[in-house]
Structure 1
Amino acid sequence: MKLDINVAGRSALTATLALALAACGGGGSSPPNAGPAPTSSASPSTAGPCSVANQIAFADDVLNDWYLFPNLLDNSVNQADFTTVQSFLDARVAPARAQSRDVGFTFATSIADENALIASGSSAGFGVRLSFDQINNRLFILEAFENAPGFAAGIDRGTEILAIGTDASNLQTVSSLLTNGGPGAVVDALGPSDAGITRVLRFAQADGTVLERSVAKADFSLDPVSDRYGAVIIQDGGRNVGYLNLRTFIVGSAADELRNAFQLFASNNVDELIMDFRYNGGGLVSVAETLGDLMGRDEIGSIFSQTVLRPERSDNNATRLFQNELNALQPDGLVLIGTSSTASASELVTNAMLPYVASSRIALVGSDTSGKPVGQFAFDLEDCDLRVRAVTFQTLNANNEGEYFTGLASVMPNTCEADDDFTMPLGDPNEASIATALDFLAGRSCTAISSDQGQIAQRAPASGMMAPDQPTAAQYQVPGLF
């Protein structure tokens, strides 16, 4: 649906308002009762329809008209004080951020880049997830995408990056970069996420082999379900347990890949599932709904989730019911493997399933999740390639539950603390989090997740996903991606 934005003193701009039923991003249809488009309050003297001032004014109108927590906007913020849309958004939503209601969830991005990401998983870079050990100043690979340059160069889960340079003559050790400049220095050394950017990397593979390779960043497609470990049958105590590792909900093809995974599960009589979303930052709610349908064989017509907007936008509220899916299961046991990088649609699915799995048979394993029971609509200033992702709705389950702003551990009936053992492959039943998930499903005891866990649980005592100050559309949705 096209909406005209009337800009005072200038010709009208056009924006597309897409109802993105996506926790942490995505796309979809327009609200049925969107009403008039935001009207810019930018000064007529502002030069150019795509000037920073006009873009900031557009973002401000979006927040005023649609933001889920209007009472948590800082109305003292002056548009003229900012030189980027993102810095303005950060300032406006600071009160919500202080209450953990919007921790980086409202952001500005490129329409073209995000649409390409949704359509095909298109991204550019080495195709790896990076995590840094803040205490020992080390940099590890948590995951490598199979069709990307990093994996082709021999870099995979468990690899340690030792040094980075533009060529072999100017390698800088990661330890010195982190010691002298922190994570930002490593990000700078790796260079922008543009195809063709080349870096020489010295790295130690998981078996200790040290290699030095020149690796060029390239365009690649994010495969949401790995062909190596995305869908696996784990035999445990004579039971077939379905293991699903979904990397992201943001790629539209993830829905069909999930259907393929559940065909494997159905053919092996699976009724216990492990959903490994430890690095899944969310994405399309439509993909989350497909996953819910695939776990709701006996719940067709029951409430999967509810979408709730601010009171004056309540005519856009919606209820999603379970729908029929071929090869759907009704899990007797369900485990989410999570970390602080597990967010959004990952949490939505788990919360939505709480009413439909016996409380003794559902658990969160790993560490506490991000805590994002809200999602964004996309507000597009098309001619300027500006998309404002503003928090506009909260999701609730069939029991009207959805207040997990501090993480899912606060609402899960069972939690089991476990390391993210990146020395072991994903999908391996001996990996610490997967082994703990199997223990829970088998009825064995575990240690509950402590309430003060804020870091990604790993063998390194304090570590976190690497992230640039100005992430690409893919980096917003796929934590740690480079």
Structure 2
Amino acid sequence: MSSLAALSLTACGGGGGGGTTPASDGGGTPTGGGNIGTCSYASRADWARGVIQEWYLFPNGLNTAANPASYTNLQDYIDALVRPSVTPAAGGTGGPLEKAGLTYITSIKEENALINSGSNAGIGIRLSYDTATNRVFVAEAFENAPGFVAGMDRGTQLISIGGQSVAALMSSGGAAAVSAALGPSEPGVTRTITFRTADGRELTRDITKQDYALDPVSDRYGIRILSDGAGGQVGYVNLRTFIVADAANQLRAGFAQFKAAGITRIILDFRYNGGGLVSNADLLTDLLLAANVGQVSSQTVLRPSKASENQTTRITARSEAVAATRVAVIGREGTASASELVANNLIPYLGGGLALVGENTFGKPVGQFAFDRTACDDRLRAIAFKTVNAAGNGEYYGGLASVVPATCAAGDDFTHQLGDPEETSIAVALDFLAGRSCTAISQSSAGISGQGVTARARPIQPAQPNVVQRENPGLF
């Protein structure tokens, strides 16, 4: 039997996964045909069609004539089913339609491992490429992973992979060629990589991919107290992902520090955060809005036939919460879903005290339910709901820049570590919080980097991202 496993908001970059929570976050048991005793393609396709026809948020946007026999891959068939609803992710336009790749099939086992412990395999680095020069940089390195141990960190430039120069790979096949050269994200896969560190050292290392735990809040820079340059203090939170359950405990601990210091101005650095668990997004909203306990945080809205499943989430009292007066959300193209949900939740309460810093975000005000077919390790993530804030607003398909009261353009500055007040985006965020002026985000200004290495950086994403890569754009 298939079951409705979870309520979640999720990522961009060709897909979105999410977290699972108990069935009380959602409800119901979807119908679906097929011989549930088998895991044949035909049976799986029949099950997926039944779930999508019952729960998909845009029932009039389905291609019900799609024939599963015309496909051999289940994801290809799912894409065909929802194709009438899909609007290109790069366009930044559209109405209540899904973006490509956000309804998908994944592994129950792999996703649960990621949620419960952050378990995944790889080098443990996020990669971005400079669109002006096609250079590839490490945007972030996870401390307990092979890349960081080998000497890679933010600002590291990749020179060659397996004897192939990165410049040649980018010239011949672009970011996809770099992704392919790095190989699958499986333990034991080894690549010889030459790289130049931020301080100018050129190193060659044989790096073997290993299992490691994805830490949602870095011990180095995840929680910091910064000066605004005018004698005031600002709380800085760099949340890498909402998908790992332990993010909740780390956020509580961080906000306890802010509360003890009397801090009410906050930077939320979501620049690489592709989304994850709605429960963590709700918690973060609570931690910021201590003055609004009991008021509406967000509303979850399903298709008309499932209106009985609609929910209203209210702001809950948290002992660590602060009454934020000004908040700067640092976002970029890879910022999506649960990250955007938090920002949208804040708009009715902070008004002009809220700004988006960096560039425009992905634009995903919709989320997935997880439907499990355990016998086949199949989890179908289907777009099944949209979210709106206390004012009933949630139409940010074109990204947060279209709805947040204030915006400040800033680049992604690889010459400074995350959490550094001199890093371009953080410096601009501090300016906003201190009441200083900034340049609004626009098509022409969104990627300007100021001090940074890049004119416009973009995450490298595999053509077929795994579970962790869906939630963490650019992770290898």
Question: TM bucket by the smaller chain?
Answer: over 0.9
Equivalent-residue separation in structure 2 for 1:36 and 1:305 (angstroms): 24
Equivalent-residue separation in structure 1 for 2:70 and 2:64 (angstroms): 13
Aligned equivalent of 1:422? 414
Indicate yes or no: 2:401 matched with 1:409.
yes
2:301·2:386 contact (CA, 8 Å) conserved in 1? yes
Equivalent-residue separation in structure 2 for 1:231 and 1:426 (angstroms): 10
Q: Secondary structure at the match of 1:244?
A: strand
User: CA offset at residue 181 of structure 1?
Assistant: 2.1
User: CA offset at residue 62 of structure 1?
Assistant: 1.4
Equivalent-residue separation in structure 1 for 2:275 and 2:82 (angstroms): 21
User: CA offset at residue 455 of structure 1?
Assistant: 6.7
Q: Secondary structure at the match of 1:479?
A: coil
User: Cα deviations across residues 219-278 of structure 1 (Å, max 9, x unaligned)?
Assistant: 000100000000000012111100000000000000000001001111211110000000
User: CA offset at residue 360 of structure 1?
Assistant: 2.5
The 1:31–1:58 alpha-carbon spacing in structure 2 relative to 1, beyond 3 Å, is farther
Aligned equivalent of 1:214? 206
Provide the identity percentage.
50
- 1:357-372 alignment runs, 5 A limit: 357=350, 359-372=351-364
User: CA offset at residue 76 of structure 1?
Assistant: 3.1
Gaps in structure 1 of 5+ consecutive residues: 1-13, 166-170
1:129·1:141 contact (CA, 8 Å) conserved in 2? yes
Count, aligned residues: 459
Aligned equivalent of 1:269? 262
Match for residue 295 of structure 1 among 270, 280, 288 = 288
Aligned equivalent of 2:130? 133
Letter in 1 for 2:118: G
Aligned equivalent of 2:14? none
Aligned equivalent of 1:393? 385
After superposition, the CA RMSD in angstroms is 1.8
Match for residue 8 of structure 2 among 10, 13, 21 = 21
Gaps in structure 2 of 5+ consecutive residues: 12-17, 88-93
User: CA offset at residue 15 of structure 1?
Assistant: 2.1
Indicate yes or no: 2:31 matched with 1:38.
yes
Letter in 2 for 1:479: P
Aligned equivalent of 1:9? none
1:120·1:221 contact (CA, 8 Å) conserved in 2? yes
User: CA offset at residue 16 of structure 1?
Assistant: 2.7
Aligned equivalent of 1:115? 112
User: CA offset at residue 416 of structure 1?
Assistant: 0.5
1:140·1:160 contact (CA, 8 Å) conserved in 2? yes
Letter in 1 for 2:271: R
Q: With structure 2 as the length reference, what TM-score do the two structures score? A: 0.93
Q: Secondary structure at the match of 1:383?
A: helix
The 1:21–1:361 alpha-carbon spacing in structure 2 relative to 1, beyond 3 Å, is same
Equivalent-residue separation in structure 1 for 2:410 and 2:126 (angstroms): 20
Letter in 2 for 1:118: I
Letter in 1 for 2:258: F
1:310·1:392 contact (CA, 8 Å) conserved in 2? yes
Q: Secondary structure at the match of 2:292?
A: coil
The 1:467–1:187 alpha-carbon spacing in structure 2 relative to 1, beyond 3 Å, is same
Aligned equivalent of 1:343? 336
Match for residue 175 of structure 2 among 156, 164, 183 = 183
Letter in 2 for 1:78: N
1:108·1:389 contact (CA, 8 Å) conserved in 2? yes
Q: With structure 1 as the length reference, what TM-score do the two structures score? A: 0.92
- 1:143-162 alignment runs, 5 A limit: 143-162=140-159
User: CA offset at residue 461 of structure 1?
Assistant: 3.1
2:127·2:136 contact (CA, 8 Å) conserved in 1? yes
Q: Secondary structure at the match of 2:262?
A: coil
Equivalent-residue separation in structure 2 for 1:32 and 1:181 (angstroms): 43
Letter in 1 for 2:231: G
The 1:456–1:252 alpha-carbon spacing in structure 2 relative to 1, beyond 3 Å, is farther
Equivalent-residue separation in structure 2 for 1:36 and 1:413 (angstroms): 40
Equivalent-residue separation in structure 2 for 1:453 and 1:447 (angstroms): 8
Letter in 1 for 2:98: D
Q: Secondary structure at the match of 1:93?
A: helix
Aligned equivalent of 2:82? 93
Aligned equivalent of 1:102? 98
Indicate yes or no: 2:313 matched with 1:327.
no
Equivalent-residue separation in structure 2 for 1:63 and 1:39 (angstroms): 9
Equivalent-residue separation in structure 1 for 2:211 and 2:28 (angstroms): 39
User: CA offset at residue 134 of structure 1?
Assistant: 3.8
